[in-house]
Each structure stands twice: as structure tokens, then as C-alpha cells.
Amino acid sequence: MNTGRSRWRLAASLTWLLSASAAVAQDGHAVSVANQTAEAYTQPIPALTEAQRPAFLKGRSLVRQIWVIPPSENREIAGLGPLYNRISCIACHAGNGRGFAPDRPGETMRSMLVRLSIPGADAHGGPLPHPVYGDQLNENGVPGVPGEGRAELSYTERLVRLNGGEQVSLRVPALRFADLAYGNLPDDLMVSPRIAPAIFGLGLLEAVPERTILQMAAAKKPAGIAGRVNRVWDVAQGKAVLGRFGWKANMPNLRQQIAAAFVGDMGITSPLFPRENCSPSQSACLAAPSGGTPELTEQQLDDTEFYHLALAVPRQMNADNPGVQHGARLFRQARCAVCHVPELRTGDFPRLPALSNHVIRPYTDLLLHDMGEGLADHRPDFHASGREWRTPPLWGIGLAKKVDPNAGFLHDGRARTLLEAILWHDGEGRASAQAVKNMPPPDRRALLDFLESL
């Protein structure tokens, strides 16, 4: 028996080593896809095995599932509400892509939300929720439970002139609340409108070793650029750890990010967040029927997490095009690559070994950077200040509008184009934005061609 076990272990080890070595040799092709369609963000990694495919498909079904109000004969999909924003994950993450901001006042926020907090910090150092409205405005309620209200965006336009005579209009957003059902909001309320981020490639980012992120934070950088980690609360471990997901790197891992979205966006409880998102004074919410204890089972959470872990990233398009290559050089010359670090390497990742030891090109350092007053939300999130945002990955960004023509850029979707997003950079990104403004038009076009190739 011992000999058989030893042989099995040796065979398994050799198989893993050979597959890992092959993956490195392919420079990430085992975890990326050459797909340029509207389904580019929904593909599994090519290295996914037949044995793993059922979990991926179950997770995909849960992400696309329209959840129903309890009680329901179908226990597996009951649990929506009592307070919620959307009825499915895909309602915000269309095609697994990014959300967008409303264009006009009164238009519903279809793929974005508004974070809320009051001055101070909770017991773990995170944002302090409003005592009634909590940490997120939920517009909708099940029958008998009033939705909390509406958030509306309006804009003023600010003109920016570029070298060569081009003019770009930037949208400056303003937020207001309407139809508040549970009383007025205080003057010192802190708010942060945020669009849904794209959800592909997250497993690879989770597989980047913590030491790599810490080394990037400690590395010497050009004057005016810093970059630091966030330290956030890990619910499962019961301790503060490095944050790497969310607009402010305010989530420690994919599992917690997913569970927080289920309860915050759809009102669906899980093993990580077993309580409904009702405040003590929301009596109708507290009295509403539950879909289970919890509503999302451990297995469903496992499958949803696996789906996110196993989503592939689209490969760069037209990488051999001379204009794209020129744009890549300009990207580096403008110091964009200091924060949008082109190349990282994953470490050993036992939860999905196919993600281990790959050279990947996400164009992020996963660090917080001060992006200036114009982008500030003035709402701290653990160690992240109101002016700091995590460097968002750029991989796949060239397909954002193909996946969803409405897709927006930056944390609140104010930028309608990649050029607008660049021009909003201030603080640590000011020099890069200025460099892009000063470029001759053909160079600026080459830079944008490079970004659109990613």
C-alpha cells in the first residue's frame, strides 16, 4: 500500500512539474485565449481539465442566475433581498465586463453602486457604515420592504486642450440622493459611486505572491510616484491581511469579494456573511422571509469562486504591428508602466495548479496610488485614503467596448474613452497625463492603439 501511494505521489508530482514547466514555456498561453469577440471575457483557461469543467459550468450558471424572492419552491435560487441593487451578477458585469455610469440625471444606475460611510472606522479599521443605510445604498426592496432610495448623477463638462489642437471634454460628476425611505442622510456622509469592474483574470492576480506586491511597494520609483499596499480585514481568517481586489484594494481575496457582492448587491447571505443586510431600524427588512441559512451554500460559493479563478484573459491583439509597438514604447516613456507594471509572475497556487508559475501581463502593481483631488471620493477604506485608488489592470481593456458598448472607465465610469481616463490622472499620475497631452497627435494615436491592443 505504501509503495502504491508513493508511486502515485511521484507520478502526480512529475505531472504537475511538467505541466508547470510547459506553461512557463508558453508564456501564459495556457491561461489566455485568442478571442476577440463579445464573449472574450467569458472563456475558461485552456489548461482547465475535464474534471474541473463541471465546477466551472456550475459557477457560470450561478453568475448568470436570476435570483428569486423567498420563499420559493426552488431553494437553490431563492434569497433575493430583502434589500438589493440587482437580481443577478451578470446584471452589473455584462459579459463579465465593466459597468458604466448613467448619462443623464434620473437615469437608473444599472451597473454601478454607491458606497456609504460616516466618519470613523469600524472594529477592524474599515469604513464605518451609516447606522440606518449601511455601507451601500440599495435602491430596491422585495414586496413589503421599501427600497432605500435613489442615487442620481449629473455632469458638468470641462474642456482640455491637447498639443496639436485636439480638444477633449471631461465629465465632472455630481451625486445627489432622492426618495430616501429611511430618513435624511447626514451632511458628513461619505459617498463613493463605483462601476462594476471586469471579472476575468482575477485568479491569476490572486496567484501573484504577496512578496511580489510588497517588493513593488518597496521598489525605488521616479520622483512623485509612491505606491503602497492596503491592509484589510479577512473575515475567514479573522485578521488583517494584504488587500488586492476592489477599486481601493479593499478586499483580501476573491472568495470574500464574491460573498460581499452577493450580500451587498443582491441581499444573498453566505457562510462568510450569514446576516441579511438590514439595519436594526429597518423592521420590515428584518421581518422578511429568508431563503435559507445561509442562502448561498458553501458548495455554491465554492463553484462561484472557481469560475472566477478559472476565467482566462484575452491575449494582446496586433502585437507585431509597428504602430502598436511604438505606442508601447511611448507608454513606458510616459512612465505609465511604473504603476501599470506590464509583467508579473504567478507563484505556486495549489487551489488551481494550472495558474501556477506563469508570466502574465496584467499592467498593474495592485498598489494604492494618490490620483489627485479630481478623482478623490474623500472616503477612506482601511488604509486607503480618499485620494488613493488601486492601479486597475489594463489587460483586455481593448475589448471593453466590444463586450459592452456602454462600458465606462475609471472607478465611477466618468471617462467615456481611454483618452479621457488618461487625462483624469493627477497626483502620482500627473506627469504621465501631461506627457500624453504634449505628445504630437500621431504619437498620441499610437499610444491609444497600443492600449486598444491589450
Here the cell at position 218 is 518597496
Mean pLDDT of the chain: 94
- Pairing, β 150-161 against β 167-178: antiparallel
**Confidence class of residue 28 from pLDDT cuts 50, 70 and 90?**
confident
Given a cut of 70, whether residue 8 has pLDDT beyond it is: no
Give the burial class of 133: count Cβ atoms within 10 A of its Cβ; 0-12 exposed, 13-18 middle, 19 or more buried.
Answer: buried
Is the dihedral angle over the CA atoms 49, 55, 58, 63 positive or is it negative? negative
**Confidence class of residue 389 from pLDDT cuts 50, 70 and 90?**
very high
Q: What's the pLDDT at 29?
A: 87
**Confidence class of residue 26 from pLDDT cuts 50, 70 and 90?**
very low
Answer yes or no: are the C-beta atoms of 356 and 208 closer than 8 Å.
no
Q: What's the pLDDT at 75?
A: 87
Q: Span 391-409, mean pLDDT? A: 98
Given a cut of 50, whether residue 411 has pLDDT beyond it is: yes
Q: Span 241-264, mean pLDDT? A: 99
**Confidence class of residue 16 from pLDDT cuts 50, 70 and 90?**
very low
Q: What's the pLDDT at 435?
A: 99
**CA distances (Å), origin 341, targets 211, 221, 324, 328, 348:** 15, 12, 17, 12, 21
Q: What percent of the chain has pLDDT over 90?
A: 93
Q: Span 29-37, mean pLDDT? A: 96
Q: What's the pLDDT at 2?
A: 43
Q: Which of 13-27, 165-179, 383-397, 406-420 has the lowest mean pLDDT?
A: 13-27
**Confidence class of residue 106 from pLDDT cuts 50, 70 and 90?**
confident
Using one digit for the tens of pLDDT, what is the confidence trace for 187-240? 999 999 999 999 999 999 999 999 999 999 999 999 999 999 999 999 999 999
Nearest to 288 by CA among 135, 113, 140, 95: 140
Given a cut of 80, whether residue 342 has pLDDT beyond it is: yes
Given a cut of 70, whether residue 171 has pLDDT beyond it is: yes
**Confidence class of residue 27 from pLDDT cuts 50, 70 and 90?**
low
Instruction: Spell out the domain ranges in the chain.
Output: 22-48+200-228+311-407+415-453, 57-198+253-309
From the centroid of its chain, how far is CA 310?
16
Q: Span 337-362, mean pLDDT? A: 98
Determine the Cα angle at 377 with ends 374 and 379, to 5°. Answer: 150
Q: Which residues of 143-164 are buried (b: 16+ CB within 10 A; e: fewer)?
A: eebbbbbbbbbebeeeeeebee
**How many C-beta atoms surround the C-beta of residue 18 within 10 A?**
10
**Confidence class of residue 301 from pLDDT cuts 50, 70 and 90?**
very high
Given a cut of 50, whether residue 3 has pLDDT beyond it is: no
Here the cell at position 314 is 484575452
Given a cut of 60, whether residue 18 has pLDDT beyond it is: no
**Confidence class of residue 448 from pLDDT cuts 50, 70 and 90?**
very high
Answer yes or no: are the C-beta atoms of 421 and 339 closer than 8 Å.
no
Report the half-sphere exposure of 454 (CA within 13 A, side-chain side): 23
Q: Span 245-250, mean pLDDT? A: 99
**Confidence class of residue 20 from pLDDT cuts 50, 70 and 90?**
very low
Q: Span 16-41, mean pLDDT? A: 69
Using one digit for the tens of pLDDT, what is the confidence trace for 142-170? 999 999 999 999 999 999 999 999 999 99
